[in-house]
Amino acid sequence: MAPNSATRTLGGRPSPAAEDYLKTIFALGSSGDAASVSTIATRLGVSRPSASVMLKRLADEGLVERVDRHRHLLTSKGRSDALRVVRRHRLIEAFLAATLDMPWDEVHAEAELLEHAVSDRLEARIDAALGHPTHDPHGDPIPPRQGDHDEAWHEPLDAAPPGATFRVERVSDRDSAALRHLAALGITVGSTLVVGEREPFGGPLWVRVGRRRRALGPGLSRLVHGAVQEGQR
């Protein structure tokens, strides 16, 4: 209840709204999608004019560069601000999972709410308490406090050849129902699957999890990323 506690502790950060834009542009960049006004607006659930105006503001502030009418890139300042938000987000996810046994389909939404309110000091304490974790519960890499960061994705399960042994390294956190479903099938980060046949026409992909056969709809198998085990290629 101290006066201005919010401003004091969190000073120097972009506004929550701006942080959301930066984070979204970063995510689009990592996944190779075009960061156009429209895709950004859609991802954030705002109107196109709102996104247009905000992007202009971010460009004026030197956080975003308009490459052409349909592509926005983060400047190095913008990227580092985005990485700070992403780092906070993923540390919070790891923290909630570790301390509250919160399931992986819930942590994302909570982190979405908390990421703008966690101070640098709290972030540092969480990081230390967890022993400087490198990945969140979905296998997303946690950017370091300083220095650069590699967001590279593994191969999608989608693309693994039949018969391969596939180790799950990372699962998209965007769809919490999908995460719940995967958990129910016994598929999580670190699971090892044996890839079976894919049925034609967008049918399910069959995989073996332990000694059970499971069907993964086409939407699901695209969310699961990992690596084909050695000598299996």
Partner DNA sequence: CAACAAAGTTAGTCAACTCTAACTCAGTTT
Partner DNA sequence: AAACTGAGTTAGAGTTGACTAACTTTGTTG
Q: How far apart are CA 171 and CA 53, in angstroms?
A: 33
One-letter-per-residue 3-state SS of 29-42: HHCCCCCCHHHHHH
Q: Which is nearer to a second copy, 8 or 213 (CB)?
A: 8
Q: How far apart are CA 163 and CA 80, in angstroms?
A: 41
Q: Which span sits near DNA by CB under 7 A: 35-43, 80-88, 144-152, 216-224? A: 35-43
Q: Which does 126 bind (CB under 5 to 8 A by kind): DNA, a second copy, none?
A: a second copy
- Cβ proximity of 41 and 35 under 8 Å: no
Tell me the per-residue interface mask from 41 to 60 with DNA, x by CB under 7 A, - otherwise: ---xxxxxxx-xxxxxx---
118 contacts a second copy (rule: CB under 8 A) = yes
Q: Specify the residue for token string 């389909």.
A: 105
Contact positions with a second copy (CB under 8 A) in 142-201 = 174
Q: Which is nearer to a second copy, 85 or 205 (CB)?
A: 85
Closest approach of DNA to the CB of residue 23, in Å: 12
Q: How far apart are CA 72 and CA 220, in angstroms?
A: 29
Q: How far apart are CA 49 and CA 176, in angstroms?
A: 29
47 contacts a second copy (rule: CB under 8 A) = no
Tell me the per-residue interface mask from 51 to 80 with a second copy, x by CB under 8 A, - otherwise: ------------------------------
- Amino acid of residue 212: R
Radius of gyration of the chain (CA): 19
16 contacts DNA (rule: CB under 7 A) = yes
Closest approach of a second copy to the CB of residue 228, in Å: 29
Sign (positive or negative) of CA dihedral 180, 181, 186, 189: negative
Give the residues lining the site for DNA (CB under 7 A): 15-18, 20, 36-38, 44-50, 52-57, 66, 69-70
